Amino acid sequence: SDSDNVGQRLYVSNDLSGRQLIAGSNSSIEFPRQAMTANTSQNCVASASTTQDSPGAYVAFDKTVNFFWHSGYHKYDTTNLYAFTGSGYSSFESIYGEWIKIHFQVESFKLKELVVYPRYSQLNRTPDEGYVFGSLDGSTWTQLVNFTGIANSGGYNGYQNDVGKIINVSATTAYSYYVLLTTKLSAGAGAGGCVNISRIDLNSWDPATLTLTENTTGVTSTGTLGTDLVTRWRVPTDASS
């Protein structure tokens, strides 16, 4: 190239003919579609690494904050807030921490985000760091995101009563199983050292893919191999950019 821009290529499109929108509607659905009423209900199955002092894992998917999933006690170091490791402690895909799982028995979807709500008045027993996994068969798992710093996200310093924290996932594959694994709590959990979550919403998405295509209307080139190639572009009278 030289100062006269010989050899440069210019791409201009002033309408949609220069691009293609492939599939997708960007619409979102909140899952589960209906409130779960038991660990197996509404064509869903909920389970967890441990459950204590709560009806079951399903209450995290009952679309209210009235009840909560409570993991077993003394699963996290209350000084550094990370999950205990070693024999007798919970793990998922060889990563230590308490986890909660939901299986959608009759459908799959691409997960855009999780919205996680704390247990009322137990704001410190909530995820700050962890992982989200997806699977189609419940055996082979894909790590979708390793999240950090969730507690202080969303414009608040720490969790607030009745306010959900968003864990961005943006999965590009539809899965029917999802797992939320907590490796670190949001703050000191006192003697409990456990996870409490009152509600989890799984929001889907249908991402559209935008691809650019070459539009050569109005372009002419002159020249032969071994000589300067001169390209001219006739600017349309309605061009806006």
Minimum mean pLDDT range among 54-58, 79-83, 220-224: 220-224
207 pLDDT more than 80? no
Mean pLDDT of 21-41: 83
The pLDDT score that the predictor gives to residue 20 is: 46
Mean of per-residue pLDDT scores for the chain: 86
Confidence of residue 19 (pLDDT cuts 50, 70, 90): very low
Asked if residues 31 and 61 have their Cβ atoms less than 8 Å apart, the reply is no
The pLDDT score that the predictor gives to residue 208 is: 62
How do residues 116-167 score in pLDDT, each as one tens digit?
999 999 999 999 999 999 999 999 999 999 999 999 998 888 999 999 999 9
How do residues 84-119 score in pLDDT, each as one tens digit?
999 999 999 999 999 999 999 999 999 999 999 999
How do residues 174-195 score in pLDDT, each as one tens digit?
999 999 999 999 987 666 899 9
Confidence of residue 236 (pLDDT cuts 50, 70, 90): low
